[in-house]
Amino acid sequence: MHSRRIGVFDSGVGGLSVLAHIHRLLPHESLIYVADTAYIPYGCKPPEQVLGRCLSVADFLAGQQIKALVVACNTATAVAIETLRQRFSMPVIGMEPAIKPAALSSRSGVVGVLATTATLGSGKFNGLKSQFEQHARILLQPCPGLVEQVEQGDLYGEKTRLLLVRYLQPLLESGIDTLVLGCTHYPFLLPLIRQIVGDAIEIIDTGGPIARQLQRQLEMRDLRASAGSGTVEFWSSGECTLVEPVMSQLWQAPVTLHYLSV
Ligand code: DGL
């Protein structure tokens, strides 16, 4: 059981920002990553459609005899995490925008959240938001188009910068001192985001906490691998020749992709 792999998935390459934290924290674990690129973006699709994709990808991963599943996508988590937890007996770990630490630590009392339209519109997200609204004003900013820029590997270009300025400027004008990255694609835009918001704004991403949560779950169930160097295998439902170069860029090492036809 210890030597079984951990499955990780996202609608595309964004989940690599989470995978990197997992690989660094748990170097003995072997990982299998799925980018559901043929169906990206999840963030502007109706919940039923996102749920259907999550079930197909998760069933594929379960068929690979994984010992734990990480939903490295805020949108997929918001829509599908309960269903996935009911469907599988293995640990299923999901993303959650870091509203709690942001609201509790903000000194200006104004917090900004960048996420997809689907995440911000979900019942799960709004339930979380309402728990912390007495601590801070929580300003929501949907970011259509950003995921596509990351999928093209355009992390520094003018179009990406202009989109970010459009989304960040109103938050800055409203006095935020803390910015929550509520989509796993956005950490790849951190250098540009930092350039735009300056050094005084606290930026919170949940990749690190999710890796630690996975570690705790594995330890609790005595599933953690403790020797050997873990492998990482990459799959995509999109056109592999297009996705491979971007994955290699973001993973900072050559990636060989397997094609997923579910
Ligand atoms: N990476 C996904 C997330 O964390 C969203 C990407 C998409 O819209 O497909 O929400």
From first to last of its 262 residues, the chain has per-residue pLDDT tens of 778 999 999 999 999 999 999 999 999 999 999 999 999 999 989 999 999 999 999 999 999 999 999 999 999 999 999 999 999 999 999 999 999 999 999 999 999 999 999 999 999 999 999 999 999 999 999 999 999 999 999 999 999 999 999 999 999 999 999 999 999 999 999 999 999 999 999 999 999 999 999 999 999 999 999 888 999 999 999 999 999 999 999 999 999 999 999 8
User: Domains in the chain: how many in total?
Assistant: 2
Same domain, yes or no: 180 and 91:
no
Query: For position 213, which CATH number holds?
Result: 3.40.50.1860
Residues 72 and 14 in one domain: yes
144 and 18 in a common domain: no
**Global pTM exceeds 0.95:** yes
The residues pairing with 202 across neighbouring beta strands, listed in sequence order, are 178
Whether residue 90 is found in the same domain as residue 211 = yes
Q: What is the pLDDT of residue 159?
A: 98
Cβ–Cβ under 8 Å, residues 118 and 147: no
Give the residue numbers marked as catalytic: 73, 183
Residue 89 lies in a domain: yes
- One domain for residues 86 and 212: yes
Q: Are residues 174 and 126 part of one domain?
A: yes
14 alpha carbon to ligand 1 midpoint, in Å? 7
Residue 1 lies in a domain: no
Residues near 169 by beta carbon (within 8 Å), at least 6 away in sequence = none
63 CA to middle of ligand 1, Å?
24
Q: Does 235 fall in a domain?
A: yes
d(CA 105, CA 189): 23
Identify the residue whose tokens are 């920002």: 17
The answer to whether residue 70 is domain-embedded is: yes
Torsion sign over Cα 120, 57, 155, 192: positive
**pLDDT at res. 62:** 98
Angstrom distance (rounded) from CA 239 to CA 23: 25
Residues forming beta bridges with residue 204, ordered by sequence position: 180
Same domain (yes/no): 76, 39: yes
Same domain, 83 and 212: yes
**Cα separation, 260 vs 262, whole angstroms:** 6
> Is 114 in the same domain as 185?
yes
Which amino acid does the sequence have at 262? V
- The reply to whether 125 and 57 lie within a common domain is no
In sequence order, the 6+-apart residues with CB closer than 8 A to the CB of 87 are: 55, 58
Strand partners, 106: none
Q: Whole-angstrom Cα distance, residue 224 to residue 245?
A: 32
Q: What is the pLDDT of residue 227?
A: 86
The per-residue pLDDT for 226 is 87
pLDDT of residue 191: 97
CA atoms within 13 A on the CB side of 143: 34
Check whether residue 175 and residue 211 sit in a common domain. Answer: no
- How far is ligand 1, taken at its centre, from the CA of residue 203, in Å? 18
Residue 234 within a domain: yes
Ligand 1 atom nearest to CA at 115:
10
73 CB less than 6 Å from ligand 1? yes
Question: Which domain, by its residues, includes 22?
Answer: 6-95+207-259
